[in-house]
Structure 1
Amino acid sequence: MASPITSSVGLGSGLDIGSMVKALVGADTAAKQAQITRQTSNNSAMISGIGALRSALTAFQDAMKKLNNKDAPSFNAYAATSANDNVVKVTSSNSAVAGSYDIQVTKLATGSKVATQAFEEGASKTIEAGTLTIEQGSKSYTIEVGDGATLQSVRDQINKEMGVNGISANVINGEGGARLVLTSTTTGVGSDLKLSGIPELEIDGTKSMAESANGAGYITGAAQDAELTIDGLKVTSASNTISSAISGLSLELVGESTAETKITVAANSDGLKASVQSFVDAYNALQKSITSLTSTSRDENDNLVLGSLTNDPTTRSLLGDIRKVLSEVGAGDQLTTLGQLGVNTQKDGTLEFNGTKFTAAMNDKKLGPEVQDLFTGANGIFERMNKAIEPYNATDGSLATRKANLDKVAKNLSDQQAALDRRTESLTESLTKKYVALDTALGKMKAQADQITSIFEAINAQAKKS
């Protein structure tokens, strides 16, 4: 910015040179300055509005993603509970049916945990170079052990190369010396680890340490399947997570017990209602954010104040695309619209959730099993809503393009302001020099006039004395 013009009174003329220069410079630059200020304010407001809109859209998409989490699914028609989560935990899917089941867990599935022979030298024990083969069921892996390797370095190499396969290693110092211990996250019969290729590290994971000639083998037991009964029917599983034993239910076996644990499956009306309400709340938060960006208001002087995105065509188009999704008919059998669940659009664009109508849809029309498909199914509300939003909110979407263009405008306006500041400074300097020169000239003329006046006054005075 140019230096401010200060008031200065000319010594020769008595004129306020600073004020005169300031007025002349202002007359020359005021129109351009007003234009830059107005355009900068409007452009900044638009940039802020686009940023706020993108944040609101992202928050809405995140809320839908949370409601569509496959690990913690929402909109389940049935809810399952376990009488003892320390024995078995249970989650239901939308295909579950109401009922109860008595489960007794007699064995948990375990993985292979094996140890090599003991080495008195400890973790620094030198290991012979060679190819170490690790077998597990039908799978076989090899590790190249180089010269100078130790029990510790072999441990590190196994962890580096085999971690992706769920096999880890450590060195445990116990009675008799140090052992290389391998653990697998794979469970079930037949998943025992076997090591061969380097004699010092050979292990048969199907035998106990006591049975083996070199003291290598499994530590507590061979890998085993989980064993349980469901209503008296025996079930075995290689994993402690069982999703195929009871239709629509996933069981997570946690502990063994001699007593039965009751699993209860019932209609999930309250859970469904909470999920629908969560969607309504997320949508209303988006709608209110857009309204605040596009609405008009009046200031204290009753002047009209526009929102940063008022009358913005992109925002209007976005709103139209989103609202279209709410009114579209889904591909369900009986449940095809949000209105059937008591969700309707109000005059201000937000959604209203009628709990009484929802309860009737669940109890009288039995629409619970179809709610999940309406929201999260193929071509459901979430999928269609994201398809409507993505062209706007994607990293290369129209809003990102608008922001990039507005940033260019901001840079151009900044350049214009810098140029205007330079002109203001230059013009101020030039006019100031001219008026100072004029003031100096006037000062000289005044001095000459005073001198002439003085001469004439002296002549007149002399004439009166004569």
Structure 2
Amino acid sequence: MAGTTITGVGSGFDTQAIVKSLVDAERAPKQAQINLQSQKATTQLSSIGKIQAALDAFRGALTSMGTDSSFSGLTGTSSDEKVATMTANQGAANGSFSLIVNQLAMPSKLSTASYAGGQSTVVNSTDKATTLTITQSGKKFDLKVPAGATLQQVRDSINSTFGTSGLSANILTDSNGSRLILTSTKGGVGSDLTLSGNSGIDTGYKVVDVPQNAKYTIDNIAAESTSNSISDAVSGVSIKLLTVSPLTTPSDANSTTRTALTISVSTSTTALKSGVKGFVDTYNALLKAMNAETKVTKDAAGNSIAATLTGDATMRTLQSAIRNEFNALSGNGTFKSLAQFGVTSDQDTGALSIDAKRWDKAVLTNAADITSIFSGKTGMLARMTAATDVYAKPSTGILATRTASLSESLKDLIKDQTSLDERITTMQDSLTRKYTAMDTLVAQLRQQSSSILGTLSAISNSKNSDN
């Protein structure tokens, strides 16, 4: 605020202190209101933001659990992980299969002619840009080769421009010089790379590797794949081929028979417990975040301290919605709740825990019921997701709406603060002028009074001298 020092020389009063007192008295009630409302809105905005983030993480975890095999209890194994590995996904079922890998999928690989000057050789000595065209499966990738570009710069440009398309380039250097080696992450028959254009880099290139399909048999049924990662051969099973299967009799030069490995899908109570523990940890993380913003705590003296959202109706209904879905029965098995598997909640915090003894006993006979409890349209995952939808929607959810409302309140409070500052500045300036004028007037009156008193004194002295 602007201000003028008031000395009070004329009146003898401390007019500056008077103005300050009047201004402070006018500002105090409204300023206290703005400060209180701003602090409340800011802390609530922070608390709701934390809960929103925790709820988003919780719902994201529910989605992941619903799309993988977290609650199937199935695990995949390979009898020879040097040849192939496998994982059991959603949709997998118990079973074992015989696998023989006869050939791995290979990508296309090309080599340019050798440049005696090494990787710093200028491959475009003209004063104009040229074009190197890389073609794969009918799709062309045109690379601009600027004037003065070196082999290294071309290599870097290919990787930065077409790396996301699966193309990559390296430089191989030997006693004859350096050459560009071009390959692709896409393999299989028909994915051949070719070079063309007017850059000259395509002149004299050679095919290093011809692309080929992976060839394998599962239970003596022959199959091929353009990739070494196979997800469509066995339902719910992902297989990664690493090398060809070893020969049955490697000492026999004429032998072509290869040794089969076994890939198996089986129920694992350890895997099942790991999936349930993952849910428990995710659930507890959300409750912990909510409790931190809603629970009443005690200070060192034993006094109760309310959290920012203590007693908040929205938080109560959100917690209730989640707990209700946890306690609800679901599935079509004998056991229809996690409590029957020894998963219980703390009466104070609501946090879940697994009773190891009750779990081990229940899972021996009813392991399959776990999948039924969690999965499907009426399973716990789907119900918890649906129950929290109204709170978590990005722009129209309850938490998002409250966040927007609090943000608007803070903007309004900023406007209120500006208005208050302007009003107080105007008031101070007005009071300053008034007290300055008063002080000036008092000074003038004192001057006039002194003058009159002086005149009267002179007249009185004159009369006395005449007598």
TM-score, normalization by structure 2: 0.70
Corresponding position of 2:201: none
Report the CA distance between 1:459 and its aligned residue. Answer: 4.1
Corresponding position of 2:224: 237
Report the CA distance between 1:298 and its aligned residue. Answer: 6.1
CA offsets per residue over residues 267-319 of structure 1, 9 Å max, x none? 32222222222221222121121122223456689886543323333333322
1:217 to 1:19, Cα distance in 2 relative to 1, 3 A: closer
Corresponding position of 1:11: 9
Q: Secondary structure at the match of 2:25?
A: helix
Corresponding position of 1:387: 386
CA offsets per residue over residues 233-259 of structure 1, 9 Å max, x none? 454333534456666543221101325
Opposite residue 385 of structure 2, the aligned amino acid is N
Contact 1:288 1:350 in 2 (8 A): no
Name structure 1 gaps, 5 residues minimum.
125-131, 145-151, 153-157, 196-214
Corresponding position of 1:38: 36
1:419 to 1:381, Cα distance in 2 relative to 1, 3 A: same
Report the CA distance between 1:401 and its aligned residue. Answer: 2.1
**Mapping 1:99-110, distance limit 5 Å:** 103-105=99-101, 107-110=102-105
1:112 to 1:280, Cα distance in 2 relative to 1, 3 A: closer
1:101 to 1:441, Cα distance in 2 relative to 1, 3 A: same
Report the CA distance between 1:87 and its aligned residue. Answer: 0.8
Corresponding position of 1:89: 85
1:339 to 1:445, Cα distance in 2 relative to 1, 3 A: same
Opposite residue 351 of structure 1, the aligned amino acid is A
Report the CA distance between 1:395 and its aligned residue. Answer: 1.9
**In the alignment, does 2:238 pair up with 1:250?**
yes
Q: Percent identity?
A: 30
**In the alignment, does 2:74 pair up with 1:78?**
yes
Contact 1:280 1:353 in 2 (8 A): yes
Opposite residue 313 of structure 2, the aligned amino acid is P
**In the alignment, does 2:366 pair up with 1:365?**
yes
Corresponding position of 2:212: 223
Corresponding position of 1:51: 49
Q: Secondary structure at the match of 2:430?
A: helix
Distance 2:8 2:302 in 1: 46
Distance 2:440 2:182 in 1: 99
Opposite residue 287 of structure 1, the aligned amino acid is L
Distance 1:114 1:288 in 2: 54
Contact 2:192 2:210 in 1 (8 A): no
Please identify, of 452-461 and 234-243, the stretch whose mean Cα deviation from structure 2 is larger: 452-461
1:373 to 1:109, Cα distance in 2 relative to 1, 3 A: farther
**Mapping 1:48-447, distance limit 5 Å:** 48-68=46-66, 70=68, 73-93=69-89, 103-105=99-101, 107-110=102-105, 113=108, 191=190, 223-228=212-217, 230=219, 233=220, 235-238=222-225, 240-243=228-231, 249-258=237-246, 259-263=259-263, 265-297=265-297, 305-355=305-355, 356-367=357-368, 370-397=369-396, 398-447=398-447
1:378 to 1:163, Cα distance in 2 relative to 1, 3 A: farther
1:336 to 1:4, Cα distance in 2 relative to 1, 3 A: farther
Distance 1:436 1:165 in 2: 79
Distance 2:107 2:36 in 1: 73
Distance 2:453 2:302 in 1: 64
1:358 to 1:237, Cα distance in 2 relative to 1, 3 A: farther
Contact 1:294 1:310 in 2 (8 A): yes
Contact 1:93 1:248 in 2 (8 A): yes
Name structure 2 gaps, 5 residues minimum.
116-122, 125-132, 143-150, 152-157, 195-203, 247-258
Contact 1:228 1:234 in 2 (8 A): yes
Distance 1:117 1:298 in 2: 75
Q: Secondary structure at the match of 1:81?
A: strand
1:14 to 1:345, Cα distance in 2 relative to 1, 3 A: same
Give the aligned CA root-mean-square deviation in angstroms: 5.2
Distance 1:22 1:37 in 2: 20
Distance 1:264 1:54 in 2: 42
Please identify, of 319-328 and 419-428, the stretch whose mean Cα deviation from structure 2 is larger: 319-328
1:334 to 1:429, Cα distance in 2 relative to 1, 3 A: same
1:181 to 1:11, Cα distance in 2 relative to 1, 3 A: closer
Please identify, of 80-89 and 294-303, the stretch whose mean Cα deviation from structure 2 is larger: 294-303
Report the CA distance between 1:220 and its aligned residue. Answer: 5.2
Contact 2:2 2:425 in 1 (8 A): yes
Q: Secondary structure at the match of 1:308?
A: coil
1:282 to 1:434, Cα distance in 2 relative to 1, 3 A: same
Q: Secondary structure at the match of 1:364?
A: helix
Contact 1:113 1:181 in 2 (8 A): no
CA offsets per residue over residues 348-372 of structure 1, 9 Å max, x none? 34232223222222213233xx434
Corresponding position of 1:204: none
Opposite residue 360 of structure 2, the aligned amino acid is T
Distance 1:13 1:279 in 2: 79
Contact 1:74 1:275 in 2 (8 A): yes
Distance 1:438 1:117 in 2: 97
Contact 2:73 2:267 in 1 (8 A): yes
Distance 1:116 1:19 in 2: 89
Report the CA distance between 1:86 and its aligned residue. Answer: 2.5
1:460 to 1:111, Cα distance in 2 relative to 1, 3 A: same
Q: How many aligned residue pairs are there?
A: 435
Contact 1:187 1:225 in 2 (8 A): no
CA offsets per residue over residues 30-60 of structure 1, 9 Å max, x none? 3222222222222222222222221221222
CA offsets per residue over residues 150-209 of structure 1, 9 Å max, x none? xx9xxxxx99xx9999899999999xxxx9999776766x757699xxxxxxxxxxxxxx
Contact 2:283 2:352 in 1 (8 A): no
